[in-house]
A and B are shown apart, each in its own frame.
Chain A
Amino acid sequence: MTDSTSSVSPLDLDESKKTFLDANELILNMGPQHPATHGVLRVILRLDGEKVLGLECVIGYLHRGVEKIAEHRTYTMFNPYVDRMDYVAAVSNGLGYCEAVEKLLNVEAPPRANYIRVILTELNRLASHQLWLGTHALDIGAMTPLFYTFRDREEILKIFEKYCGARLTTHAFRIGGCQYETYEGFEKDVKKFVAFVAPKIDEYEELLTTNRIWVERTKNVGTISAKDCIAYGVTGPVLRASGVKWDIRKAQPYAAYSKFDFEVPTGQNGDTYDRYLVRMAEMRQSLRIIQQAIDGIPEGPIMAKVSKVMKPPVGEIYHSIEAPKGELGYFIVSDGSTQPYRVRVRPPSFVNLQALDLMCRGQLVADVIAVIGTLDIVLGEVDR
């Protein structure tokens, strides 16, 4: 960390150093079994009454060694594993991995495959944001949006299921393109969904955007400046809500994103409310992209020529995409064999979670919950 950022000293958990005057400080252990830590995150809070003096995240309860597994699998075999990292945005994970390996192999997916990839990835972004909205609102105490978002997310999952047979861990893409041609009526389904979900997003906004309690609970909560965001490597909607217009779909277009017209919504204050607004706007932009993609989807092959046994040339590659939660990067080192020498994943949740301490200092216990929700972490991705 550079000196220019707000300095955050590590949490001092040593009880023996306590003096009599510190007696009212409370160490509260939140998680890993806690209803609002989105899985198995453990947060050790240091409290003065309800005020947070500092906190420390303890992660690893969901560690499965995904990166290590990759070293013992062929490139194709590892593909389904990436779905298990960010399991609410499995399609994005698969896209990032496939494109990274394609870069390494120096092949390019055909245009039709790229369009299918964009449609499914954007649908997945919508699903991920809907899940985020539901759980975030639930954390802040509004129960009802959760059920509305899950009702609409169900329609997306149905499209996934019809496309590839799986709802959550889809394994939708293959290295070099897509395995499956779109099913009969895919375009109709997607168009119907776009028309169906657009008013539903207004419905969510109706419940929350102008709700006094919601605004009070989220405005000026967990504020993070653009400078701190960059210093911590925070990406995705969190970065954009702080006013940085950085979206890899625009900055380094991949798949077919350069062909579509969409905006990158940004906020100004970098607080929880802005992040909420940014994500809501992103959902609408996703719908725009899906609409354009489904209207202009070209005919043609869906799979590039890729040999059955993949032996990428010796070398290394870093490829990143804009996952729903931020920059999802894959760093793959090839030693020329059928198995990657090393796969390193740069998960957005893990990097974004670093900023939790900074965002929560001086806030109240209830805000910690709001901030965990607004960071939109998935522990499967944090721990891998």
Chain B
Amino acid sequence: MPSFITSYLDKNIHVTPGQYGSPFWALVYILVVFGGVSLAVVCMNWLERKILAHMQIRLGPMRVGPHGLLQPIADAIKLILKEDIIPEGADRFVFWIAPMIILLAVFSVYTVVPFGPTHAITDMNIGILFMLGVSSLGVLGIVMAGWASNSHYPLLGALRSSAQMVSYEVAMGLAVISAVLMTSLNAEGTGTLSMIGIVQAQYAQHVWFIFKFFPLGLIAFFIFAVAMVAETNRAPFDLPEAESELTAGFHTEYSGLRWSLFMLGEYAAMIAVSSIAITLWLGGWMRPFPNLLSGPTWDLAFSFFPALTFFGLAGMTFYSTMRMPKHSYFRVQTIGLGAFGAVFALIGLILLLPGVNGRVQDIYWFIFKIAVFMYLYIWYRGTFPRYRFDQLMKVGWKILLPMGIGVLMLTGIVALRTELWDFMHEAIRRLVHV
């Protein structure tokens, strides 16, 4: 095998392909991440409809495939085959490029998302800045889409969206800074902006930053968690696409494949901002309770989790298979559902293999945390009414922003408490001696 492939496989290399300088492996990682995120969006599509439906005492998709499992595929085919409409009077070029910009912005973010200590495309020393900066470029696509549509509803949606994203970015940034500040609390006193570095700082300090300086870390996380929902235009902050007010907001005039690009961008952005929150506050790829439940026994127990998850899914599927109606009309669906279960069980078995098991731990826990966030997103959507525009701005500027500044200052004070104490002691001593 050529050396540009094998050189990265050396056991002593503990950096990402980007840092190592291996274009081949970087490309492989890019493809895997792109494919994985797209697959996650497809799964999310089905899961959201299903979970939301069950919250609302209905069944959700049930027709296409067993329990509607093939619904996302049917939707995708429908959207691809749909007529591509560009409204008259629209700015064709801007109209065409707007969804591309959103997708580009969102997927660029994944360059630095650390799924594990080496499982990232690359690691930049300004990773978190890069993420915030690039993900906020998405608003450009929304404004362009709204403007190019040459229609009132998209225009209002785009205006709302840009105002919303810009104002929530400030609070978001402040929360991020307070987490970055916590990374500097080591012997050398040097912080880091690198995504992998931030997780490693949490490892070194033996605490997830959400629990650091309790409750300061928690408040910062809360600010970020609210701001990120607003940033991704999801309920209860889904004003730009408020269905009951602006029909569909900035993508009212979009249809077919272009519309699906917006949806892809939206869901990918949800995963992207969730991964920021996980990296900064929830210990990134680390398994839960590393301090309380430490030791090799617990390590071993937690290492079964990936396989157990898939076995659980397989079990659920087999249980549903047994509950399928016994009529011959449902035979194909029952077999299909059983096949789904078999695939899950097979994946579970593969994950039990010692060679695989050790390598997927980091990725599993990262994805597990993302899944929790995705569930929260759906839960919000099922529970909350929608904010009004001025109230949304009020929450952003009058509540989250002061909270963010306060948390940042307090974090700084707590972090430097010994130095501050020494300084005051010294000052009083000098005053007394004058």
Contacts and interface: CB of A to CB of B under 8 A. Distances in A.
Contacts of B245: 36, 365-366, 369
Contact of B247 (A34, A211, A216): A34
Given A141-B384, A213-B384, A369-B245, A364 B390 contact: yes
Interface in A135-156: 137-144, 146-148, 151
A367 B391 CA distance: 12
Nearest to A36: B244
B156 interface: yes
B62 to A, nearest CB: 16
Given A35-B247, A364-B389, A151 B384 contact: no
Given A216-B388, A217-B388, A366-B388, A141 B242 contact: yes
Interface string B47-75: 00000100111100000000000000000
B385 A214 contact: yes
B375 to A, nearest CB: 16
B212 interface: no
Most chain B beta carbons < 10 A, residue from A34, A143, A364: A143
B244 A213 contact: no
Interface in A97-128: none
A106 B244 CA distance: 48
A369 B244 contact: yes
A325 B383 CA distance: 27
Given A28-B152, A141-B235, A366 B242 contact: yes
B236 A366 contact: no
A317 interface: no
B130 interface: no
B384 A365 contact: no
A211 B58 contact: no
Q: Is the interface of A mostly helix, strand, loop or mixed?
A: helix
Interface in A29-54: 29, 34-36, 49-50
A213 B387 contact: yes
Most chain B beta carbons < 10 A, residue from A29, A139, A207: A139
Nearest to A211: B385
Interface string B218-254: 0000000000000000011011001111110000000
A260 to B, nearest CB: 33
A330 B247 CA distance: 37
B385 A213 contact: yes
Nearest to A26: B152
A216 B391 contact: yes
B55 to A, nearest CB: 6
Given A147-B57, A365-B156, A142 B384 contact: yes
A350 to B, nearest CB: 23
B382 interface: yes
Contacts of B389: 50, 364-366
Most chain A beta carbons < 10 A, residue from B159, B246, B247: B246
Nearest to B246: A365
Given A36-B243, A364-B390, 4 more contacts: A139-B244, A141-B236, A141-B384, A148-B57
Contacts, number: 85
B383 A144 contact: yes
B386 A141 contact: yes
Contact of A140 (B52, B239, B382, B385): B385
Given A50-B389, A141-B242, A365-B156, A147 B56 contact: yes
Nearest to A372: B244
Chain A interface: which size bin?
A: 20 to 34
B381 interface: yes
A-B complex: 4 closest residue pairs judged by Cβ atoms: A141-B386, A36-B244, A142-B385, A147-B56
Contact of A35 (B52, B243, B390): B243
Nearest to B155: A26
A213 B386 CA distance: 7
Contacts of B244: 35-36, 138-141, 369
Nearest to B394: A216
24 contacts: A29-B152, A35-B244, A36-B243, A49-B159, A138-B244, A140-B385, A141-B386, A142-B384, A143-B381, A147-B57, A148-B57, A151-B57, A207-B383, A211-B384, A213-B236, A213-B385, A213-B386, A213-B387, A216-B391, A364-B389, A366-B386, A366-B389, A367-B388, A369-B244
Contacts of A137: 385
A36 B244 CA distance: 5
A26 B390 CA distance: 19
A144 B388 contact: no
Nearest to B153: A28
Interface string B131-159: 00000000000000000000011001001
A50 B52 CA distance: 31
Nearest to A146: B56
Contacts of A140: 244, 385-386
Contacts of B385: 137, 140-142, 208, 211, 213-214, 217
Nearest to B383: A144
Contacts of B391: 213, 216-217
A217 B390 contact: no
Contact of A50 (B156, B235, B238, B386): B156
Contacts of B57: 147-148, 151
Interface in B373-404: 381-391
Interface in B352-383: 381-383
A217 B389 CA distance: 10
Interface string A6-46: 00000000000000000000101100001110000000000
Most chain B beta carbons < 10 A, residue from A28, A137, A140, A207: A140
A78 B253 CA distance: 44
Nearest to A138: B244
A69 B287 CA distance: 73
